[in-house]
Structure 1
Amino acid sequence: MSISDTKKMSENKLVSFVIPHKGREDMLIATLESIKQQTIPAEQYEVILVSQNENVSHTLFEFEQHITLSIIYNDQENSISHSRNLGAASASGLYLAFLDADVSIDVSWTQKMVDGIENKPDTVLMFGTQVISDNARPMEIIRTCLASATSGTYTESAPGANLFLKRETFVASPGFPEELRTCEDIYFTSELNRFGRIYHYPDAQFVHLGEDKSFGPMFKKEIWRGQSNIASTSGRPIPLRELPSFIVPFAVTLGIIILLLCLLYSQTNFAIIFSIIAGAPLLAYTFRLKKLVGNTVSFLNCLRFYLVYFPARAIGTLLGARGAVTTSSHK
């Protein structure tokens, strides 16, 4: 469907952007600014901001002069899934575009998404490709390259930074699982495989403004993300490709710890065994990442990434294990 074909629509919009938000507004403003710059006419889309702040600034209200903006206030204790479902329930668009509040989409992102999903009738969900920002540091380059590794292919799930689908598809789905604090996007998009295919669209690009810039914040964030690892598997089959994400962090982390203890107590034979247990997957992931990033990031920084990532994921999974036991269903 072309933009011109939708001009007859009087009440409904072509696209409803649903943006959950909590905390600082600086990156949210940049997100709204990128939406305002879209090549499709402003009257053809709406923005539904679901804020978990007590109020919003005057700067945000100024966007009402340029775009159709609705602000819904949500309780701070609710999950991001709750905010997304709440925003979707208020949407009038033929399509839903779920955006994080810290992304900047390319000016033609919306038009390309509309054209792309209409030209792929077997595709029920599309998500855009993350690109590197100007003057990006090694951590951001690594994150971006990992996020865009599947660009141009069909996938079994998708991260929630930018998701595009028909509203009728969302209505037919279970929606986002409100019990999960993290991994809710993977659970939701995995469920959509029942309706059709998921495509990682290379032409619709965005910059993740809130991407990790250094190893310290990344360590804390991965602990938080890892806490829903087990809960996110409840009620769905686990693809084989996901198994390493559960096994490898523990193999590497425990392997390194036991290796150091063996070296401390001069247990050479055991030290060799656990150096292989920890080192084999660690080096395999590092070499794969180095191939992905090319000359933009050194091998040492690739190794540092996984030396931080795997322990953080292991810690997060352990912390979330108790909560996962009590999670019996997803709404």
Structure 2
Amino acid sequence: MHTAHPSISVIIPVGSLDPLLDAQLQALAEQDVDCPFDVLISDNAGDGRVSDHVASHPLRDRLQLTCVDASQQVGAAHARNRGAESASGDLLAFCDSDDVVHTSWLTTLVQKASSFDVVGTAVETVTLNSARALSWTPTTEPEKQGRTDFLPFAIGASMACWASVYRDLGGMDNRFRASQDVEFSWRAQLAGYTLGFSDEPVVAYRLRAELRPMLRQSFRLGFGFSKLRGIYRPQGCPALKVRRVASWWMALLLRNPLLPTSLTGMSRGHWLRAFVIRVGELRAGIRYGAIGW
């Protein structure tokens, strides 16, 4: 059984100096956890702006805030791994720079981690997002988050892992540009580690509010998860059935954005997102053998 009062290192991968980072840091300063924790900003840009910002940050002492150079490779997985290498905490907690964790975030993770090796929580999208962004990217109900038809997973924006487990597994795989959290969770479970998930949404998750970034992210999601599915088929991950893929494309054709939204029940942004996801999914499915009969 893991300790109920671990020291914690919070790791935040940062691709550039994000103006939204300060809101996340303020939220971390308001945590109600009774365990000691520090915060590592893992700088994937390496241009000096992030490190300068951290060095002069008003919360630096309160959060034991430090900056880690993670500019050797591009990728959030690499940034998380570099942060983990520098972390001193027994438990590694991961969140993103553009979200805002709830006050109970770390407490929830610590409680769950007392019984599991890797843990995650649900997220909510109501707090930070506009009506338009919500219409483009509908949120999965908390009790259905972290699930796949193969193995469950911890969402990278709200997850924790015991440091010894994370290092034993070699961290996240930076060869994946999306679904690194899913891949890590699957690999951990296949290696015999346990995964726990709380359906209490304790992170305010920020959706893409501009169309092009949202579509780029959507393609990566479709491509990345289909690639992952193909790679893990030998380990028992079920293939995407041809009939199922065909039914998704048929549904898109029937609900095309030329028809009134009142008939399709789907905003045009939502339709475009679904279309781009399916394109990415199909390309990776063919390339990595994720589609089968």
2:258 is matched with which residue? none
Q: 1:152 to 1:163 in 2, by over 3 A?
A: closer
What one-letter code is carried by the residue in structure 1 that aligns with 2:280?
G
Pairing partner for 1:28 from 15, 21, 24: 21
Where do 5+ consecutive residues of structure 2 fail to align? 256-260
1:1-331 superposed matches below 5 A = 1-3=3-5, 14-40=7-33, 44-53=36-45, 54-56=47-49, 58-61=52-55, 62=57, 63-75=59-71, 77-118=73-114, 121=115, 123-131=116-124, 132-133=126-127, 136-140=130-134, 143=137, 145-146=139-140, 148-150=142-144, 156-194=152-190, 195-203=192-200, 205-209=202-206, 211-213=207-209, 215-233=211-229, 234-235=231-232, 237=235, 239-240=237-238, 243=240, 251-253=247-249, 278-279=250-251, 300=264, 302=266, 304=268, 307-317=271-281
What one-letter code is carried by the residue in structure 2 that aligns with 1:312?
V
Bigger Cα Rg? 1
1:328 is matched with which residue? none
Structure with more helix by fraction: 1
SS at match of 1:200: strand
1:263 is matched with which residue? none
SS at match of 2:31: coil
TM superposition shift of 1:46: 1.2
Q: 1:103 to 1:134 in 2, by over 3 A?
A: closer
Contact map agreement 1:282 1:306 (CA 8 A) in 2: no
Give the alignment's TM-score, normalised by structure 1.
Answer: 0.69
Contact map agreement 1:228 1:324 (CA 8 A) in 2: no
SS at match of 2:153: coil
Q: Which consecutive segments of 4 or more residues in structure 1 shift more than 6 A?
A: 280-283
SS at match of 2:144: coil
What one-letter code is carried by the residue in structure 1 that aligns with 2:15?
K
Distance 2:243 2:160 in 1: 31
Distance 1:115 1:205 in 2: 13
Q: 1:175 to 1:112 in 2, by over 3 A?
A: same
TM superposition shift of 1:116: 2.4
Q: 1:134 to 1:306 in 2, by over 3 A?
A: closer
Contact map agreement 2:252 2:271 (CA 8 A) in 1: no
Count residues in correspondence: 272
* 1:133-156: CA deviation from partner (whole Å, max 9, x where unpaired): 166415336746316342598962
* 1:183-233: CA deviation from partner (whole Å, max 9, x where unpaired): 211111111213344333133601013x12355542232123333344323
SS at match of 2:41: strand
Worse-matched range after superposition: 149-158 or 194-203: 149-158
Contact map agreement 1:150 1:200 (CA 8 A) in 2: no
* 1:80-138: CA deviation from partner (whole Å, max 9, x where unpaired): 111111111111111110112222111121122212221xx3x3222122122166415
Where do 5+ consecutive residues of structure 1 fail to align? 7-13, 254-277, 284-296, 326-331
Distance 1:280 1:25 in 2: 35
SS at match of 2:103: coil
* Cα RMSD for the two superposed structures: 3.5
Give the alignment's TM-score, normalised by structure 2.
Answer: 0.77
